Structure 1
């Protein structure tokens, strides 16, 4: 039953978070949804793509991922689902559709690090707010109570709580820092080259839809490393960062 519900998600369009879009983009969003539901997937993809520069929305990325899935362009679908997860990391429907698309592309999902596992429990902005509030709250609890003569277990307990929450939020932010380096090969021409030039010898190729961590950039090339320790310079025409 669970598997069946996950599969339903890949064919459905999310209307639950349309409110994220501003008024001047809602017309194109609805038009794209109508094209999708009519089976005009290429037109729907074009319309969703026009929305991205205007409004970074998990709804748009998610629906665009579904559209590319229907077009059997699995690498681009994976990229869009990853972008949607960057904005809505706790959404189980997006994560399920990403997994199904990776399976369709015959890719083995990369195991996340423990810091990344912690990070995706909440949005990056939530972690940032927790870190700020607990840091200054803990500082205030250390500095101010002696001035007022406030002592006791309640104060100590609040300080410990602030320290623990600050530590966890720091782990979450570190995880997001790692996730921010993620990129996806969107073509079978994603060659790993020895140097950042088009004439450089090719060491090997990334699989379409394969993820890699961006280490640095030079001109039109990214130096990337995969979980299997494959590394090299890849042309940005064939490899796209998730966080851009």
Structure 2
């Protein structure tokens, strides 16, 4: 009887394997169909997006051609259309600044050079042309505070990354100190250092965001603009602001902006004569 029992056990095993094979095949087929569907969906998205990217490239090339042909007003219109459509890049703002510079609109040239530098801090051409435009217009600049001068070695995004890294390392160190019986002096020291880095990064981010180059930075785009003591054209003047001058928006009241001005002054200017750098 022993051989018969062995044959039955082997037969049952073979039957089970044969029953499992179609199921495995179904899983593989389903996985294959999912992969094909994902590929087709990706291809469809790329196919539908390709004309939009091609159109943007064509519009950018058209704007550059208008600029090369010295049709600066047309080039300005084309670049601004790209920006309204969401095509923000340091080079687009830089080219728009160049078009305004050629059109002798130094206020808006400086505004767009500043926007290019807000997107790409190390843009040598924008930095150089910004200084040339300031010299041409006689634009006034805000004086950064002493902490801001030292903290400008890094950008807000870099300080934000440092804060995030310090937070998670500090969290790991705290968990290790709580869960382990033996307290490591090195782990505790690292925890303290990460807390200091976190606090310093948060302070640096806050200081830069509220500083002379922060969110409230605006550029005077109008001509013959006078900052005044009150929200009236007849109020006493505080400071004459050439085109391209920097101001820091503190508050708004109707059609007027109350701003911090160069030379540590404050005053009201018409809102239509200034635009904030950050969009």
Please identify, of 42-51 and 54-63, the stretch whose mean Cα deviation from structure 2 is larger.
54-63
Residue 147 (1) aligns with residue 182 (2): no
SS of residue matched to 2:223: coil
**Equivalence for 1:175:** 208
TM-score with structure 2 length normalisation? 0.70
**Equivalence for 2:198:** 166
CA distance in structure 1 between the partners assigned to 2:164 and 2:93 by the alignment: 29
TM-score with structure 1 length normalisation? 0.79
Residue 232 (1) aligns with residue 267 (2): yes
Please identify, of 132-141 and 226-235, the stretch whose mean Cα deviation from structure 2 is larger.
132-141
Residue 195 (1) aligns with residue 227 (2): no
SS of residue matched to 1:52: helix
1:228 CA displacement = 0.8
**Equivalence for 1:43:** 74
**Equivalence for 2:22:** none
Decide whether the 8 Å contact of 2:76 with 2:100 is kept in 1.
Answer: yes
Q: How many residues align?
A: 222
Decide whether the 8 Å contact of 1:119 with 1:176 is kept in 2.
Answer: no
Which has the larger helix fraction? Answer: 2
| Gapped regions of structure 2 (runs ≥ 5) | 1-51
Residue in structure 1 matching 2:129, options 94, 97, 102: 97
Residue 27 (1) aligns with residue 58 (2): yes
**Equivalence for 2:277:** 242
Residue 54 (1) aligns with residue 89 (2): no
> Highest Rg: 1 or 2?
2
CA distance in structure 1 between the partners assigned to 2:208 and 2:244 by the alignment: 22
Please identify, of 61-70 and 165-174, the stretch whose mean Cα deviation from structure 2 is larger.
165-174
CA distance in structure 2 between the partners assigned to 1:105 and 1:117 by the alignment: 25
CA distance in structure 2 between the partners assigned to 1:171 and 1:59 by the alignment: 31
Decide whether the 8 Å contact of 1:90 with 1:120 is kept in 2.
Answer: no
Please identify, of 127-136 and 156-165, the stretch whose mean Cα deviation from structure 2 is larger.
156-165
**Alpha-carbon spacing, 1:63–1:138, altered in 2? closer, same or farther (3 Å):** same
Decide whether the 8 Å contact of 2:220 with 2:242 is kept in 1.
Answer: yes
Decide whether the 8 Å contact of 1:222 with 1:233 is kept in 2.
Answer: yes
**Equivalence for 1:84:** 116
- Cα RMSD over matched residues? 2.5
| Gapped regions of structure 1 (runs ≥ 5) | 1-21
**Equivalence for 1:209:** 244
Please identify, of 187-196 and 48-57, the stretch whose mean Cα deviation from structure 2 is larger.
187-196
Residue 138 (1) aligns with residue 170 (2): yes
SS of residue matched to 2:174: helix
